[in-house]
Amino acid sequence: LELTQEEQFQARIDADVRIEPKDWMPDAYRKTLIRQISQHAHSELVGMLPEGNWITRAPSLKRKSILLAKVQDEAGHGLYLYSAAETLGASRDQMLADLHSGKAKYSSIFNYPTLSWADMGCVGWLVDGAAILNQVPLCRTSYGPYARAMVRVCKEESFHQRQGFEIMQTLCEGSPEQKAMAQEGLNRWWWPTLMMFGPADADSPNTAQSMNWRIKRFTNDELRQKFVDMMVPQAEFLGLTVPDPNLKWNEAKQGYDFGDVDWEEFWNVVKGNGMCNKERLQARVQAHEEGAWVREAALAHAEKRKQREAV
Ligand code: ACO
């Protein structure tokens, strides 16, 4: 019995063999990966902005150096991810052009403002917590370069999460005003963080195929449930209240039941109408334009070297 190329490909996936850049792959697999990896890369770059907002206002030298390191890590994650997408034939210039024109998506979470120092705690604790839950399984994603990029990203991401939790813990053990600031942050970040995992499985056009191709190892709803189950005890430990009146332990499923995500708000943010979408894109475009001289200088230098070597 002769297997078609596509059947052979699926058989390799099913046997958990990694797909590498030069291997044959269906066009749709390539396209899905370019879509997901480039959106992921864009999220890392835009993700620098909400926290970048607090670097100059961090409450101590120690907090400032930690925050600086974390934001730099995110730039690095973006670069590994663009490189991974390039192995699939995507052009970095095109990916960036799509981000800057507003055509490409990036994570909804980064379109919310960071209003207080507690937001640095919430971003680390909740947002990076959600990112890790989503990304640890991606270390086993079927495409080799993406899986390998995720290993280092996850190590750095777990440091980010610890530092966020530690900010929250410090605030919660501090003055009543500090504790109130932590609670107010949680109130604003909880629901947008649940939205990071994407639409409910029933409304997710890509999940079924991506699970079949083992690009995704868990569905959106599975990861959202794991997140709630992981975070509720942490919030209790901090003495904070999760802003969901429907949150309730369900003994039978050994997990929490929780309220409905506001999907209208989610799609509104994804479509570009969130609180900070315009500001975020504008900041990226400006950074790119201000970096033009560096790109030109690097090209001129490369040209000069080439000529020198030709002599
Ligand atoms: N923000 C913006 N867009 C989203 C979000 C979100 N939180 N969730 C889903 N979408 C988009 C999808 O990109 C997709 O759009 P497209 O088809 O036009 O490309 C559409 O909504 C439908 O969603 P799904 O069918 O569920 O899409 P998918 O299977 O790609 O799942 C998910 C979405 C879970 C985000 C997946 O792409 C993924 O795991 N990506 C890698 C992780 C990542 O990008 N993390 C970024 C945030 S973490 C960080 O940067 C620190």
pLDDT digits (tens, 9 = 90+) for 112-129: 999 999 999 999 999 999
Q: What region does 182 belong to: left with phi over 0, alpha with psi -120 to 50, or beta?
A: alpha
Is the CB of 268 inside a 6 Å radius of any atom of ligand 1?
no
Ligand 1 in reach of 38 Cβ (< 6 A):
no
**Phi, psi for residue 278 in degrees, rounded to 5:** -65, -45
Going through 111-219 in order, the beta strands assigned E by DSSP cover none
Supply the residue whose CA is at minimum distance from atom 30 of ligand 1. 36
Place of tokens 């990966």: 33
Which residue, judged by its Cα, is nearest atom 13 of ligand 1? 105
Average pLDDT on 72-99 reads 97
Q: For 85-108, what is the mean pLDDT?
A: 97
Q: Which residue's alpha carbon is at the smallest distance from atom 8 of ligand 1? A: 198
Q: Contact 98/85 with Cβ under 8 angstroms?
A: no
Instruction: Express each pLDDT in 137-156 by its tens digit.
Output: 999 999 999 999 999 999 99
Residue 39 in contact with ligand 1 by CB distance below 6 A: yes
Confidence of residue 174 (pLDDT cuts 50, 70, 90): very high
Residue 1 clears pLDDT 90, i.e. is over it? no
Structure tokens at 267: 């799609």
* Structural contact between residues 146 and 37, judged by C-beta atoms closer than 8 angstroms: yes
Per-residue pLDDT at 12? 97
State in Å: Cα 36 to ligand 1 middle: 7
Separation of CA 305 and ligand 1 centre (Å)? 42
pLDDT, position 311: 82
CA dist 146 and 35 (Å) reads: 12
Asked if the model's pLDDT at residue 83 lies above 90, the reply is: yes
2 pLDDT band (50/70/90 cuts)?
Answer: confident
189 in Cβ contact with 126 (< 8 Å): yes
Q: Which atom of ligand 1 is nearest to the CA of 40?
A: 44
Pairwise CA distance, residues 147 & 307, whole Å: 39
Query: Average pLDDT for residues 70-86, to the nearest whole number?
Result: 97
State how far the Cα of 258 lies from the Cα of 205, in Å rounded to an integer. 23
Q: Does ipTM surpass 0.90 in this model?
A: yes
- What is the whole-number distance in angstroms between the Cα of residue 90 and the centre of ligand 1? 18
Neighbours of 111 (CB within 10 A): 24
Confidence band, pLDDT 50/70/90 cuts, at residue 285 = very high
Complete DSSP assignment for 181-208:
HHHHHHHHHHHHHHHTT-S-GGG-TTHH
Would you say residue 217 has pLDDT above 80?
yes
Closest by CA to 230, choosing from 208, 267, 258, is 258
Element holding 8 (H helix, E strand)? helix 5-14
56 secondary structure, DSSP code: G
Side chain identity, residue 15: A
